A and B are shown apart, each in its own frame.
Chain A
Amino acid sequence: MIKVDHKGTLLEVRGLTKAFSGVRALKGVDLSIRAGEVHCVLGQNGAGKSTLIKILSGAYRPDDGDITWQGESVSIDSPTHALGLGIATMYQELDVVDGLTIAENIYLGHENATAGLLNRRDAAKKTSELLARLGHANLNPNREVGTLSPANKQIVSMARALSRDIKLIIMDEPSAVLDSEEVKNLFRVVKQLSDSGIAVIYISHRLAEIREIGDRITVIKDGRTTATGLEVKDTPTPALIKLMTGRDIDNEFPPATPVAKDAADMLVVDDLSVRGEFSPLSFSVKAGEIVGLAGLVGSGRSEILEAIYGARKATTGTVSVNGERVRNGSVADAVRHGIGLSPEERKSQGLILAEPIFKNVTLSTFARFASGPFLRENGERASARQQLEDLELRPADPDRAAGTLSGGNQQKILLARWLVHGVSVLLLDEPTRGVDVGARAEIYSLIRGLAAAGTAIVVVSSEIEEVLGLADRVLVIADGEVLRTVKASEIDESGVLDLVMKGSAA
Chain B
Amino acid sequence: MSGVETAAADGNQPVSPLEPAPEKSGGALGWVRSYLGGAAGRNIGLFVVLIIIFIIGAVTIGENFLSPANALTIVRFATVTGVVSIGMTFVIILGGIDLSVGSVVGLSSVVATMAFVQAPAQAFWPLIVVVALLVGTLAGVINGLLIAYGNVVAFMTTLAMLIAARGLAEVLSGKRTQILSVRGFNDVIGSSPLGIPMIVWIFALVAVLGWVLLNRTTFGRRTVAIGGNREAARLAGINVKRHTVWVYALAGLTAGIGGIMFISRTTVGTSTHGTLLELDVIAAVVVGGTLLIGGRGSIVGSVLGVLIFSLLINLFTKYNLDPSIQALFKGFIIVGAVLLQQRFGARGSTRSA
Contacts and interface: CB of A to CB of B under 8 A. Distances in A.
A binds B: yes
A20 B14 CA distance: 11
A329 to B, nearest CB: 12
Interface residues of B, number: 42
B5 A405 contact: no
B218 A341 contact: no
B219 interface: yes
A436 B296 CA distance: 31
B48 to A, nearest CB: 25
A259 interface: no
A213 interface: no
Contact of B352 (A343, A367, A403): A403
Given A336-B237, A434-B3, A375 B8 contact: no
Nearest to A335: B237
Nearest to B348: A354
A298 interface: no
B200 interface: no
Interface stretch (B58-66, B221-229, B333-341): B221-229
Interface of B: 1-8, 10, 12-18, 21, 216-221, 224-225, 228-229, 231-239, 295-296, 349, 351-353
Contacts, number: 145
A47 interface: yes
A351 B229 contact: yes
Contacts of B233: 352, 363
Contacts of B239: 332
B70 to A, nearest CB: 39
B17 A407 contact: no
B229 A311 contact: no
Interface residues of A, number: 55
B21 to A, nearest CB: 6
15 contacts: A25-B5, A45-B1, A45-B2, A47-B2, A311-B234, A332-B237, A335-B236, A353-B353, A363-B225, A363-B236, A370-B217, A373-B218, A375-B216, A401-B353, A432-B3
B21 A359 contact: no
A25 B8 contact: yes
B8 to A, nearest CB: 3
A375 B218 contact: yes
Contacts of B13: 21
A213 to B, nearest CB: 24
B244 to A, nearest CB: 14
A349 B349 CA distance: 20
Closest 4 interchain pairs by CB? A46-B2, A335-B237, A20-B8, A352-B228
Interface in A366-404: 366-367, 370, 373-375, 393-395, 400-401, 403-404
Nearest to B239: A332
Contacts of B17: 393-395, 404-406, 409
